[in-house]
Amino acid sequence: MPMKNHDIEEAWKYHEGTKHSYRSVHSNRHVLDWANQPLPFKVYPDIERIALPRDVPQAGVAALAAISAKVSAESGDAVPDLRDLARILFFSAGITRQRKYTGGEIYFRAAACTGALYEIELYVVTGDLKGLDAGVYHFNPADMSLGVLRKGDFRENLALATAMEPAVAQAPAMIACSGTYWRNAWKYQARTYRHFGWDNGTLLANMLAVSAASGLPAEIVLGFVDADVNRLLDLDTRREVSLCVVPVGRILKSSSPAPREVPPLGFATIPVSQRELEYPAMLEMHEASSLASTEEVAQWRERARRLSFSSSAAAGEEVALRPLPEDEQPSDTVEEVILRRGSTRTFDAAASMTMAQLSTILERATRGVPSDFLQTGAQLNDIYLIAHSVEGLAPGAYFFQRERKTLELLKAGNFRAEAYRLGLEQQLPADACVDVFFLADLNCILEAYGNRGYRAVQLEAGAIGGEMYLAAYALRLGASGLTFFDDEVVQFFSPHAKEKSAIFLLAIGKPLKRKAD
Ligand SMILES: Cc1cc2nc3c(=O)[nH]c(=O)nc-3n(C[C@H](O)[C@H](O)[C@H](O)COP(=O)(O)O)c2cc1C
């Protein structure tokens, strides 16, 4: 079988074909078909469901500590029970707010998601836990339940699919994330494949933080035989595909039973919409970034883990980060912060944030996302900023020298008008205190990781962006993910960024207080 993952023109074709430009956005005739609006939940009407506990106590760890915490291997076995799982699932993808609008009701979830369309589904693959029998389950946030897909211990199937990635092989439980194309493509068309990474990433930021707060190690595993995981979850892969696996907890002397047969289930689900449109570019991108055998997975991971990314020498004036001292950092728990998070709809353009706040956000959220595709502490995305109103930092465009923990000035000036334009002519990036742009050297990433690197870089951006969301809300600031005109972003930060590609954008600032507040 050809190793398609290394035919990297596929990722380039998808990336180029889904860029936003002033022209592509203004000439796009796509309109939202409200009568065919997708259902925000996957519902299996006929399967057995197990209610998850709703009164689970908080883990009680400060958000800023939780987003960058690593649970050390020395701490021995760490096994979640049903309450831990309920906490992790709820604070990753549960319904935290609801609001009526003319078309019905929006059920807002724990993590930010493009268009509030919530195309990411969660599945649990577990051995016997306190309160839950071994099985494969689908998480339904609508009624906080687990739908029973398979009974029995299927962890070894997942371990084999990941080529025995140690964190998976030792995990008492795992959460697999999938993406449902149409639920997001209804609005965003073929760009949804990028959103899979972003929206899965913000959710993973919560999942990793709440797992760590619960004393459970967790990481993002991106190397797996796609067909094997899809088969275990019984996904209809023209509509929904698995995106990553998160092992939760650790049993050092793991003894999961042999892999089991996984016959097709064919359970009915309520259709997402009356009619669905398929976007071939996304199916091709997914296929081209799929790994076909355990040998391919093992080679892919080994190569990925050997990679190191060199940092560039600073040419411009540098400003050192000045994070808040530990004893001045807010102690609000990660659960409290997730409950109050909600993307800012209007920033106060007259407000400012402090250099200490910005430094704390950058320093906490860029310590390296725990994963199977990076060396500890490494990062695929580079961070560029437009600072508008940060006390102690002159307005201008900056590059974040991550290892040196400095901001390198690229050009000084007031760039609110440029930020408005780059962020798809939206007011949010113009009125924020700072806009954080994620750019990456796709040439180098695809060369090293193949097309799978495209999934990795988008997912990592979403996860870091999700951590920045949490850090901002911990500091009583507001934030919003944003989309952007791809090539204009690169041009703005060039010549520094000239070989790079625009991946993600997050605006951070002070929410405008409404008069009634
Ligand atoms: C990656 C990403 C991109 C987003 N892009 C935009 C955007 O361009 N404009 C906007 O107003 N909101 C944007 N949002 C915010 C979403 O609309 C918001 O997350 C969603 O409505 C859910 O609401 P919540 O974040 O308040 O829970 C984005 C969110 C994410 C995660």
pLDDT tens profile 442-459: 999 999 999 999 999 999
Using a CB cutoff of 8 Å and minimum separation of 24, what contacts does 277-282 make? 277/182, 277/185, 278/181, 278/238, 279/181, 279/185, 279/189, 279/190, 279/192, 281/13, 281/14, 281/17, 281/18, 281/190, 281/193, 282/14, 282/181, 282/185, 282/190, 282/192, 282/193
DSSP element (H, E) containing 483: none
| 355, 392 Cβ separation under 8 angstroms | yes
Q: Ligand 1, residue 110: give the atom nearest the CA.
A: 27
Please tell me the distance between residue 49's alpha carbon and the centre of ligand 1 in angstroms.
31
- Tell which wins on pLDDT, 201 or 309: 201
Q: What pLDDT sits at residue 436?
A: 99
Across residues 471-490, what is the average pLDDT? 98
Residue among 20, 184, 425, 482 whose CB has most ligand 1 atoms within 8 A, to mutate: 482
Closest residue by Cα to atom 8, ligand 1, is: 482
* Model confidence band, residue 386 (pLDDT cutoffs 50, 70, 90): very high
- Tell which wins on pLDDT, 375 or 130: 130
Please tell me the distance between residue 347's alpha carbon and the centre of ligand 1 in angstroms.
14
Q: SS3 of 237, please?
A: coil
Matching residue, tokens 């096994």: 79
The pLDDT of residue 209 is above 70: yes
The pLDDT of residue 516 is above 70: no
Please tell me the distance between residue 509's alpha carbon and the centre of ligand 1 in angstroms.
15
Output the ligand 1 site: residues, CB below 6 A: 108, 112-116, 198, 202, 342-343, 424, 426, 428, 480-483
Please tell me the distance between residue 344's alpha carbon and the centre of ligand 1 in angstroms.
9
Q: What pLDDT sits at residue 2?
A: 53
The pLDDT of residue 514 is above 80: no
Across residues 413-423, what is the average pLDDT? 98
Across residues 456-485, what is the average pLDDT? 98
Please tell me the distance between residue 432's alpha carbon and the centre of ligand 1 in angstroms.
14
Residue among 114, 120, 183 whose CB has most ligand 1 atoms within 8 A, to mutate: 114
Please tell me the distance between residue 203's alpha carbon and the centre of ligand 1 in angstroms.
13
Q: What pLDDT sits at residue 515?
A: 61
Q: Ligand 1, residue 111: give the atom nearest the CA.
A: 27
Query: Among 24-33, 454-463, 481-490, which is the least confidently predicted range?
Result: 24-33
Q: What pLDDT sits at residue 257?
A: 84
Q: Ligand 1, residue 423: give the atom nearest the CA.
A: 8
Please tell me the distance between residue 360's alpha carbon and the centre of ligand 1 in angstroms.
23
What whole-number percentage of the chain has pLDDT above 70?
98
- 247: which residues sit within 8 A by CB, 6+ positions away? 165, 167, 168, 170, 171, 173, 174, 217, 218, 219, 221
Q: Ligand 1, residue 96: give the atom nearest the CA.
A: 27
pLDDT tens sequence across 122-171: 999 999 999 999 999 999 999 999 999 999 999 999 999 999 999 999 99
The pLDDT of residue 517 is above 60: no
Residue among 106, 337, 343 whose CB has most ligand 1 atoms within 8 A, to mutate: 343
| 99, 106 Cβ separation under 8 angstroms | yes
Q: Ligand 1, residue 462: give the atom nearest the CA.
A: 1
Please tell me the distance between residue 397's alpha carbon and the centre of ligand 1 in angstroms.
23
Q: What pLDDT sits at residue 118?
A: 98
Q: For the whole model, what pTM was predicted?
A: 0.97
Please tell me the distance between residue 117's alpha carbon and the centre of ligand 1 in angstroms.
10
pLDDT, the chain, mean:
95
Please tell me the distance between residue 345's alpha carbon and the centre of ligand 1 in angstroms.
9
Q: What pLDDT sits at residue 75?
A: 75
Q: What pLDDT sits at residue 68?
A: 85
Closest residue by Cα to atom 6, ligand 1, is: 482
Q: What pLDDT sits at residue 312?
A: 77
Closest residue by Cα to atom 19, ligand 1, is: 112
